A and B are shown apart, each in its own frame.
Chain A
Amino acid sequence: MSAEINIPPVLQALVNGVSRINVSGATIGDCFKEMVKKYPQLSARLFNKRGDLPHGIQIFINGESAYPEPLSKPVRDGDKIYISHIVLGG
């Protein structure tokens, strides 16, 4: 399945300003693995030591939250995946 991953502003700085990446995979986790192959510098920001998403990251697919197990969520052709940071204001 091919999908588009939308990169949040703060991570764009790590991938030369790229805001969208086309990847393929059966799940969001597969798609992320492919993305990290292209951009290894994203790995430390997207995965903790156990290989899970850190608390500060939230994933949406076609505008819906992928909670509670985002990396296992199936992906269909043409899906749009969004990475968002969970830090707000102050």
Chain B
Amino acid sequence: MALNTGKILRVNLSNGKVSTESIPESVAADFIGGRGYGIKYLYDEITPGVEPLGEKNKLIMLTGPLAGTMAQAVSRWMVCTKSPLTGAFARSVCGADFGAWMKFVDYEIIIIEGKAAKPSYLHLTTDGCKILSAAEIWGKDTKETQAWLNNKHGNNTRTACIGPAGENLVKYAAVVSDRRTAGRCGTGAVMGSKNLKAVAITAPRAVHLADPDTYNALAKEQVNIIKGNGGFLNHKEWGTTSTQDVTNAIGIYPVRNFRYGQQLGYQKIVGAEYRKLRVGDMGCYSCPARCGKVHTVTAGVYKGAHSEGPEYESIWAFTGPIESNSIEASIRADQLCDDLGLDTISTGNTIGFAYELYEKGLIKKSDTDGLELLYGKHEPMVALVKKIALRQGIGDLLAEGTKRVAAKLDKGSDVYAIHVKGMELPAYEPRGAKSQGYNYATASVGASHCYGYAAQDIFGAPFPHPTDRFDEGNADIVIFNQNGTASNECGVICAFAGGWGWMQLYGKMLAAARGIDVYKDDVYLAKVGDRMFSLERAFNIRQGLGRKDDTLPKRILTEPLHTREAKGEGQIVSHQDEFLDKYYSLRGWTKQGVPTEKKLKELGLGFAVKDMAVK
């Protein structure tokens, strides 16, 4: 059985140099692939103090050892870099086909360095990589860009690109592929800072596996399990378009910039209402769930709006923050974000923040280009999405994200800026799901819901033990969720597919794909998750972050939650310091949140010890 550790494509946009590198077996054994490779190479290659939007930052695209195969829901890909929002480690995961296409040209990693002198794009084939002029597509939206590239290079082309938001260095710009986005952390701004419009891949379908016979037998077993699994069937039916039914019912749907946990009249935006406008569904490579539910608005001011989505987070982003019950407006705003290349979560959160600033008189009509930012009014929200992407008027300020807007305005506005480490909170209220909240506080990338999703608090999942969702003492649960997510993102498997009953095969599939047997051991996989998370932490420590940054927003720590008719009225997060002490202790970090020498060596990360010694 031949080893198959993957290859790296390295492109320097400053000098035009393109090279291919192999990945050492030791790196493959320790980090598996995907996000594991991402943090390993980023740690090795990004020195402290690198400016996120400067020439020395690197943009790393990664897929996993299972991508492009017949197995289902395992072909996702991601972007890792130093985030312009947080100054910390960034990882942003995406679906569609691009991950599989990376494998078809035999690359698991694309490292992009430097900055092109003029707008450019990369075109990859099995014959190599060319750096080409993007003059004709600079300024175009993501749909137009992909259509142009398909027209030029053929329909067997898949692309990851930025829209105008990335070109304009909006701090939370996304990288878009088909209609899916690597949305979080501002990876699109990093791509824009390099004058890189797109990476397009044209290739026939073929992948290398260390042990194809064993792998394909396992993949068949996986397919058989998934097709009868209730979780899969539910996901196929609804995607995540009905999660708001649950989160509103239990009072964790953030409303009016995280003041309420339930939206008035939320019955108007439940999954069944979105379904009335559903016209189809779309999916990722080799995944029959097709969870991207496509909606078209048929009447009213947004007639003709059409989007793959919104899914749960985007439904929330364009309803909850401004307390609007307009499904149609949410579809239009979602479409604009995908076209213009914006992260829906940070966009919606930042707009909700602007509405509160307006309510409090901290910004006025003269500041908002005449827009009246009144709760319930969705037209200004839709207008702001475009202004942000194009940095027009007040959009230029809001494009910086809540943390920087608050710093610029001052006037006590930081109380209303709902972010962790500079990245805006997503659609789960921390005061009503405390383990989810503490995941936000401690996640390497800032407030990400899917860095360690607390299904225990939100849906009553009893693994590794059940929780009381208001209990602040579940540091072990937060770590369990974060390490498990890290391990799964080596694959790179879909976060939803992890609940479809086949995960006992995951390690065996990794082993058959790579030819490295140790992956078969679930205990080892958990250790890899711990290793990745600790190295991400070391990266952040080296960049100057620490305990002071592991904090939920002031509002969450000081203002009681109002839940209207749901349980949880008056909840607050009040034991953050105790939680962090316990969390750091369980992780093997110091009281300041620095990984100890003992812990780093135990995880095989001895090379990072010297970087922690000065902290």
Contact = CB atoms under 8 A, between A and B. Distances in A.
A32 B230 CA distance: 18
Interface in A1-26: 6-10, 12-13, 17
A84 B230 contact: no
B230 A6 contact: no
A89 B566 contact: no
Interface in B297-316: 311-315
A42 interface: no
B460 A9 contact: yes
Interface stretch (B158-166, B171-179, B449-457): B449-457
A84 B240 contact: no
Contacts of B243: 87-90
Contact of B246 (A6, A10, A65): A10
A51 interface: no
A8 B235 contact: no
B462 A56 contact: no
A86 B312 CA distance: 14
B480 to A, nearest CB: 13
A50 interface: no
Interface in B230-245: 230-231, 233-235, 237-240, 242-243, 245
A36 interface: no
A55 B459 contact: no
The interface centre, meaning the residue of B228, B459, B463 with most chain A CB atoms within 10 A of its CB, is B459
Interface stretch (B103-111, B209-217, B365-373, B493-501): B493-501
- Which bucket holds chain A's interface residue count? 20 to 34
B460 A7 contact: yes
B499 A89 contact: no
A5 B243 CA distance: 23
Interface string A75-88: 00000101111111
Given A68-B228, A89-B312, A9 B459 contact: yes
A57 B229 CA distance: 11
A90 B235 contact: no
Contacts of A84: 455, 459-462
B234 A63 contact: no
Nearest to B462: A82
B312 A90 contact: yes
A67 interface: yes
Interface of B: 228-231, 233-235, 237-240, 242-243, 245-246, 249-250, 311-315, 427, 449-450, 453, 455, 457-466, 469, 495-496, 499, 501, 566-567
22 contacts: A6-B462, A7-B460, A10-B246, A13-B249, A53-B230, A54-B234, A56-B234, A58-B230, A58-B231, A58-B461, A58-B499, A63-B462, A63-B465, A82-B460, A82-B462, A85-B246, A86-B499, A87-B238, A87-B246, A88-B240, A89-B450, A89-B453
> Top 3 closest A-B pairs, CB basis?
A90-B312, A8-B460, A90-B240
Interface of A: 6-10, 12-13, 17, 53-58, 60, 63, 65, 67-68, 80, 82-90
